[in-house]
Chain A
Amino acid sequence: MEFLNFLIILGAAWLVFRRPEREGLAFGLLVASVVLTAVLFFLGTRGSLLPGVNL
Chain B
Amino acid sequence: MALSDARLRTVLAWIVVVLTAGPVGGAVWLGIFHGESPCILCWAQRTSMVLIALTGLFVLRYGPRPRYLGMVVLLGAGGLYMALRHSALHLARDVGQGFAAIFFGAHTYIWSFFIHWVVLLVLGILLLLLREDTVQRGPRDPGRVGRFAMVLFLVVVVGNALQAFMTTGPPPFMGQGDPVRFSWNPRQWVWMKPARIFGPVSLRGAWDIPRPDPAIVDGETDPALGPLANLPSLRVTGWERVGPALNGRLTDLAHDPETGRFLAVTDRHGIYLLDATLTQVEHSVVLDPYFAVNLSPPVGAAFLGDTLAVGTRNKSYVLLRPDPAADEDLEWRHFLETSGGVRELRRSRFATVRARQMYVLSLAYDAAADELLMVSVPSPRHRRMVVSSFDRRDLILSSEFLPRLGSGLDFASPERSLGEYVVTGAVVVGRTLYAVSAAYSTLLAMDLDSRTVTAAYAIPGLENPVGLAVRDGELLVAQADGRIAVVARPGEGSSFALPDQEGPALD
Contact = CB atoms under 8 A, between A and B. Distances in A.
B151 to A, nearest CB: 8
A1 B54 contact: no
A21 B160 CA distance: 26
Interface of B: 39-41, 43-44, 47-48, 50-51, 54-55, 57-58, 61-62, 67, 71, 74-75, 78, 82, 84-85, 87-89, 91-92, 139, 147, 150-151, 153-154, 157-158, 160-161, 164-165, 168-175, 177, 194, 197, 199-207
A1 B51 contact: no
A17 B57 contact: yes
20 contacts: A2-B40, A2-B175, A3-B170, A9-B50, A9-B51, A10-B154, A13-B154, A16-B58, A17-B57, A17-B61, A17-B154, A21-B139, A30-B51, A38-B78, A40-B43, A46-B201, A48-B203, A48-B207, A50-B203, A53-B92
A6 B154 contact: no
Interface string A18-50: 001101001100100110011011011111111
A53 to B, nearest CB: 5
A21 B71 CA distance: 20
| A contacts with B: majority SS | helix
B210 to A, nearest CB: 16
B51 A55 contact: no
Contact of A20 (B50, B91, B139): B139
A53 B89 CA distance: 8
Say which size band chain A's interface belongs to: 35 or more
Contacts of A49: 85, 201-205
Contacts of B207: 48, 50, 52-55
Contacts of B51: 9, 30, 33-34, 37
A2 B192 CA distance: 12
B153 A13 contact: yes
Contact of B158 (A10, A12, A26, A53): A10
